[in-house]
Structure 1
């Protein structure tokens, strides 16, 4: 993998983290040491590139993994939600989440494997 491919892959993961965070661009960029302009640039670049290279669901590799439902001890939640752990990545889904966004996040997280 060359440096450009690595940079693109890194930014795909950063964009997935930004989208999953629920933070504003400015807040996320401040917390992740990048500029809003960089984030906007990569959002555009990856969106433009993904429209040209959208994976075909018929030929894409699909891998199912076992899930275990666990309630943290002593927790009481007011709204239904799900937390996915993919390696060291944590994705938290609340009622009414966007399934398309989840697909994009999972694609980015698993494309680097």
Structure 2
């Protein structure tokens, strides 16, 4: 942890104590802030910052994935061989990262593949 992170953590700890003191004081936020020479803006800023800090520690990163519309299936291969009639040749690719494996058709769009890779990197 670098110095900046340590200072940030120290301030978070100080404000956690201050919020607790305000709550147990029986005073309104405005009264408590006046008594402690703090502005309500500063109080609300640190309250928001602490909530964000706690949320980032508790909640996982949420990476939205937009699934594009599925393109029409490729046209079947035309052949005189009855065994190949109505066959579709597709290749499958497999992506493995951090013990997460995803298989997908090779006709996946580049944009969607980039989205998947970003989501897996944040998992």
Higher relative contact order (CA 8 A, sep 6+): 1
Q: Whose Rg is larger?
A: 2
- Could you tell me the TM-score, scaled by structure 2's length? 0.39
- Could you tell me the TM-score, scaled by structure 1's length? 0.42
